[in-house]
Amino acid sequence: MDERQEKYLSELERIQKGGPEKYHLSLKKQNKLFVRDRLNLLFDESSILEEGTFSNCLDPELPEDGNIVGMAKINGRLVCFAAADFTVKAGSWGAKGVRKLLYIQEKALSMKLPIIYLVDSAGARITDQKDVFPGRNHIGRVFYNQIEMSGIIPQITILFGVSPAGAAYLPAFSDLVIMVEGKASAFLGSPRMVEAVIGEKVSLEDLGGARMHCKVSGLGDVLAADDTHAIELCKNYFAFLPQNYLEKPAPAAAKEPSEGRPIAEIIPHNQNQPFDMYELIHRIIDEGSFLEYKALFAQELITGWARIKGETVGIVANQSKVKGGTLFVDSSDKGARFIWLCSAYNIPLVFLADIPGYMVGSQVERAGIIRHGAKMISAVSEATVPKITVIVRKCYGAGLYAMAGPAFGTDSVLALPTALIAVMGPEAAVKAVYSNKIDELEGEAKLAFMNQKKEEYSDNINIYGLASELIVDQLIDFEGVRKELSYRLEAYRNKERVWPQKNNSIHPV
């Protein structure tokens, strides 16, 4: 072999081994994969095209500066990627690693390719901070680029390990965040720093662990069991997204819904009796196609992607089994985020409404329920994709607005025979209007009066009466929901709606 070729191959092999063996052993003890094993699992065989492999090649302690970047394919689709190598200085961001990250972001934007971040990093390398932190083309530019790319190309972050301090904003600016339970974490200050600054003693898991972020803070969208599971989930979710905002998600082979009870049996006669909205969802969508978004967070609202006859849709549905399906601060944020995400990438939205409204009371008012509720209504209004709402049961108050009621550019508002639309439910309305009269009555007389007024109120909001006034576009049969949705989604597929030109909306925060 030519000595020049031999030297090249030797150097390449050394670089691709990553950092010292002791750090590889540490990964194995933690049941974590080496970065190159992750890349090989995520991408099609022999599809990886690296950039800057020989960065820092003259420094044997910093192969690739701990950051591998390039292009590769997932099921034939070209993407850009950046992957931290934890065996090199704990995956920390050094000067050349940051330059490589900026380079691949700019390539992704110019080519309109999705970008995937594989994070297992100690954050900015403190010893190099003047070369990575404050400048025009340092770490701050990474987040600037993410914001510029937002809504143009999908950005997915897989958190395999830590993402501390400023690096925690990388997942925050991503479209989808997958976190490995027991391994991934994100925080602005470490437990040691928190104790030193504010005197609080807290574990890493409670402070910024994967389950906490997926269930409590909402930073994480999907919780994975281990590295392999996280990579599998990334592939599955990626299949629902297009390459960029100019394209639509690719269809898949159509499947029939999973077998189950008739829809009329799933939905109780009693408006106040909870039922499992997941059961209804699975009777409408293609079998096995549902992938939930923020499944552990604000569970009174269900959001996720699915397919109806092979076509991608975003599902927004109220879950009466959790807090009665009432919208709270977190569920409003969850709904807004998901709607913006679907609208950005041309994914039609299907709303399944069974909502008593927004939560009331001093606690939620202090938490900003009006601001957060307005955020979800803003998202519904701004969505330019096809929007179809099915009123499943009750749809009261501003809950009608949040669930894409007739006034919000909704293409079709459909109603099942069980539907009710009103400012509030019968009992609350009667108590509000007739409180003085009710206080004057006692015993059976009070009960009889209230029942009479509730019946009168219910007759006034009868869905057939509302349909006769064109409040809803169509009443549909229980078993006809999937057919109606499929037909209408096909009809609206090429819908064009241009939002008025402006610098930017001023959103409620």
Q: For residue 375, how many other CB atoms are within 10 A of its CB?
A: 23
Could you tell me the CATH superfamily of domain 3-239? Answer: 2-enoyl-CoA Hydratase; Chain A, domain 1 (3.90.226.10)
Question: Quick check: 131 pLDDT over 90?
Answer: no
Higher pLDDT, 393 or 497: 393
From CA 42, how far away is CA 197, in angstroms rounded? 40
- Residue at 14: amino acid letter: R
Question: Quick check: 166 pLDDT over 80?
Answer: no
295-325 tens-digit pLDDT? 999 999 999 999 999 999 999 999 999 999 9
Which residue pairs, CB below 8 angstroms and at least 24 apart, start in 428-435? Answer: 429/457, 430/454, 430/457
From CA 72, how far away is CA 469, in angstroms rounded? 55
Closest listed residue to residue 342, CA positions, set 239, 211, 249: 249
What is the mean pLDDT of the segment spanning 359-386? 96
CATH number assigned to the domain covering 263-419+472-492: 3.90.226.10
- Residue at 299: amino acid letter: Q
User: Where does the pLDDT of residue 446 fall: very low under 50, low under 70, confident under 90, or very high at 90 and above?
Assistant: confident
Euclidean distance between the first and the last CA atom of the chain, given in angstroms as a whole number: 64
Residue 123 pLDDT: 87
97-111 tens-digit pLDDT? 999 999 999 999 999
From CA 378, how far away is CA 383, in angstroms rounded? 9
How confident is the prediction for the chain on average, in pLDDT? 94
User: Where does the pLDDT of residue 457 fall: very low under 50, low under 70, confident under 90, or very high at 90 and above?
Assistant: confident
**3-239 and 263-419+472-492 agree in CATH topology:** yes
Closest listed residue to residue 327, CA positions, set 354, 290, 348: 354
Residue 142 pLDDT: 96
3-class DSSP assignment, residue 43: coil
Residue 473 pLDDT: 96
What is the mean pLDDT of the segment spanning 208-235? 98
Q: What are phi and psi of 422, to 5 degrees?
A: -165, 165
Residue 327 pLDDT: 98
> How far are the Cα atoms of 247, 302, 349 from residue 493, in angstroms, in the given order?
12, 24, 11
From CA 129, how far away is CA 139, in angstroms rounded? 10
Residue 425 pLDDT: 81
pLDDT more than 90, % of the chain: 82
Question: Quick check: 509 pLDDT over 90?
Answer: no
Question: Quick check: 180 pLDDT over 80?
Answer: yes
For residue 433, the Cα-to-chain-centroid distance in whole angstroms is 41
Residue 461 pLDDT: 82
Computed on alpha carbons and rounded to an integer, the radius of gyration of the chain in Å comes to 26
Closest listed residue to residue 92, CA positions, set 61, 119, 124, 117: 124
Domain spans, the chain: 3-239, 263-419+472-492, 424-461
Burial of 328-339, coded b for 16+ CB within 10 Å and e otherwise, reads bbbbbbbbbbbb
What is the mean pLDDT of the segment spanning 235-248? 98
User: Where does the pLDDT of residue 160 fall: very low under 50, low under 70, confident under 90, or very high at 90 and above?
Assistant: very high
